[in-house]
Amino acid sequence: MNISVEEVKKEIETHLPNVKLRLVRDSILIENPEDLPQVALFLKESPRFLLDYLSSVTGADYLTFLESVYHLYSMAQKRGPVTLRVRVTKNNAKVPSLVPVYRSAELQEREAYDTFGIIYEGHPDPRRLFMWEEFQGYPLRKDYAQEDTEVLEIADIAWLETRGIEVPVEMKEKAKTLHAAGQRAVAQKPEKPRP
């Protein structure tokens, strides 16, 4: 059973007049991310919709902005989904956390932070979910530069040499030239790509 988006939008607007909403296809875009928790709380507790179950939280990179997408369902009324989305800029990617409203957001928000770098403010455990803490960069953003695993870098050479492991000369030299140029060994497009 589907819930009509217009209906939800109208209901939110009558009860929460300060919240600015916009319809983006079948979803509701909340213009100001700060409004997200109150909208979610309203939808969760409004007797008409009772969207008590947050199914999925995920991020997405649209080059100019980042997006956080929420899919809400109602377990009590067996209806859904209602899609909410908020948009933030890459420099200031801060979205209020939904964990106080729905606990199911806990691990998924950590995942979105890990892969897209969206900071969920008020999250009780704001760490990376999959990668280790020292990992730099957000790998699912479209501009993430992945390392080239076949070219050693200066840090690798130093690590190996302190442990007394011989490194072939050409690898050493390559690492040095990379270091001198101030570059990382990054996976690049091939010289003669296949069609």
Partner 1 sequence: MTNIVEIKNTDLAQTLEINFGPQHPSTHGVFRMTVQLEGEKICGLRPIFGYLHRNHEQIAENLPYAAIMPYTDRLDYVNALSNNFGYALTIEKLAGIEVPERAEYIRVIMAELARVVNHIAVIGFMLNDLGAFFTPLLYAFRERERILNLFEEITGSRLMNNYFRVGGVKRDLTGENLAGIQKIVSRFPAFLEEFEALLTKNEILCMRCQNIGVLSAKTATNAGITGPVLRASGVNYDIRKVDGYSVYNRFDFKIPLGEKGDVYDRFYVRILEIRESLKILDQALSTIPPGEIMNKKSLPMLKMPRNFKPPVGEAYGRVESPKGELGFYVVSDGTPQPWRYHVRAPSLINLTVLEEMCLGQKIADAIIILGSIDIVLGETDR
Partner 2 sequence: MAFTKNTSSVDESLRTELAKKGVLWTSLDFLYNWGRRSSIWPMQFGLACCAFEMIAAACARYDIARFGAELFRASPRQADLMIISGTVTKKMAPQVVRLYNQMPEPKYVLTMGACAISGGPFVDGYNVLRGIERYIPVDVHLPGCPPRPEALLHGLMELQKKIASQEILKAEWYKKGLKREFPIPELGPNGLIPKFNPEVWQPAKKNPRREHYGQTILVGKKLKAPDFELAVTAKPIAPRAAA
Q: Rounded to an integer, what distance in angstroms lies between the CA atom of residue 39 and that of residue 188?
A: 43
Give min distance, CB of 187 to partner 2, in A: 4
Cβ burial 160-188 (10 Å sphere, 16+ → b, else e): eeeeeeeeeeebbebbeebeeeeeebeee
Q: Rounded to an integer, what distance in angstroms lies between the CA atom of residue 111 and that of residue 113?
A: 5
Give min distance, CB of 44 to partner 2, in A: 25
Of 89 and 103, nearer to partner 2 (C-beta) is 89
Q: Does 144 bind partner 2 (CB under 8 A)?
A: yes
**Which residues make beta-bridge pairs with 61?**
66
Give min distance, CB of 1 to partner 1, in A: 8
Q: Rounded to an integer, what distance in angstroms lies between the CA atom of residue 20 and that of residue 34?
A: 11
Q: Does 106 bind partner 1 (CB under 8 A)?
A: yes
Q: Does 142 bind partner 2 (CB under 8 A)?
A: yes
Residue in 14, 92, 134, 180 binding partner 2, rule: CB under 8 A: 134
Q: Does 91 bind partner 2 (CB under 8 A)?
A: no
